[in-house]
Amino acid sequence: MKAVRIFEHGDVNVLKYDNYAPPEVGPRDVLVRVVATSLSFWDVHYRKGGWLNGKNPLPPMLGRKMFPLPMQLGRDAAGVVEAVGEEVMSLAVGDRVAGLPHPENPRCPYAIRGLGNLSTGVDLPGHTMFGGHAQYVSRPEHYWINLPDAVDFAAAAAALWSYATSHRIVKDRLRVALNDVVLITGTSGGMGSATMALAKDMGAQVVGVTRSRTKREALTRMGADHVVVLPPDAAQAAQVRAFTGDLGVDAAVDFTGNPILQRLCIDSLRLGGTFVPGTSDWSQDPLPVSALDLIRLEIAVKGVRASRLDDQRIVVELLAKGLIKPVIHATIPLSEIAQAHAALESGDIVGRMVLDPWA
């Protein structure tokens, strides 16, 4: 089969599109013909391996293997079941499925406590097990979720990871309510655009942030009620507050890891607001928030790690009902993976890049 793998960390030249042996199918495994997969900044981070080469390598994450090589990237995959192991009970050949970006281990103490997103004893696609950047993928039965006929494979590949994590951010961490105002940095990316869409669906107004003036119109079309164009400074925070009648936003989430933008989030919050440093920040630098900020503003700072099974179920159902439509920048052949990485790193992408393994 055709697939893309990395055997070392580096620039786009380490991406090896080639012929590889198809995966084995164990007694509890499901083999899927991948119709669509996608590319995210996670894939870029993994390929570059920046956290491994710096002075302060990323500390171990409980229950996770630390970025093994070789790796087949791609957190999302959607396709059709080609074969099943003899012990598989819930799926059959011909079923339409999507890979769960965050499978859970029901026996894990965290899952038992209702924190399945923190499950240990599982492998994450494109992280600790081979991901979706291939024509065929084999995974355990409970690593897949059925796709209704109404869900397009490309939409599933573009939405499941980003929307499921964003759903948890909006619902559980920010607790967005009707008429709230939410500030989102990195709004044009896959996670930012998903968070904006879900916040809008829940009745909130959204302030989007971008580095590019050319993206202002695109963000407005996507639903942003107000757009802040970088570079940010004190006037930008004042601009955000002016939009809210100087009360400040109810919630803010940062998907950039940029300390200046993180500070913009803090300075834009109302009293008692909530700030979530999003899932794109792999630095170990302290957040630009002081104890005095927490006291004088009585704000909450909440971390987020992955999504839960229910978040992923909800995304599939929202897709089936046509209530969410992920922004797809382009669909390109998997063979052009190097060009796709370069385009994503350039910052000119709005939404997700979808990859076709058979084109």
Give the CA angle between residues 142, 143, 148 to the nearest 5°. Answer: 90
The CATH architecture to which 2-160+308-356 belongs is Alpha-Beta Complex (3.90)
Give the model confidence (pLDDT) of 72-130 as tens digits.
999 999 999 999 999 999 999 999 999 999 999 999 999 999 999 999 999 999 999 99
Domain with CATH 3.40.50.720 in the chain: 175-301
Domain with CATH 3.90.180.10 in the chain: 2-160+308-356
Cβ atoms 135, 357 nearer than 8 A:
yes
In 135-217, where do the E strands start and end? 136-140, 144-146, 181-185, 205-210
Give the model confidence (pLDDT) of 15-71 as tens digits.
999 999 999 999 999 999 999 999 998 899 899 986 665 556 666 666 667 788 999
Give the model confidence (pLDDT) of 244-253 as tens digits.
999 999 999 9
Give the model confidence (pLDDT) of 265-299 as tens digits.
999 999 999 999 976 656 677 899 999 999 999 99
DSSP letter at 232 equals: P
According to CATH, the superfamily of the domain at 175-301 is NAD(P)-binding Rossmann-like Domain (3.40.50.720)
Cα 279 from Cα 253, distance rounded (Å)? 10
Give the model confidence (pLDDT) of 155-208 as tens digits.
999 999 999 999 999 999 999 999 999 999 999 889 999 999 999 999 999 999
Cα 197 from Cα 278, distance rounded (Å)? 16
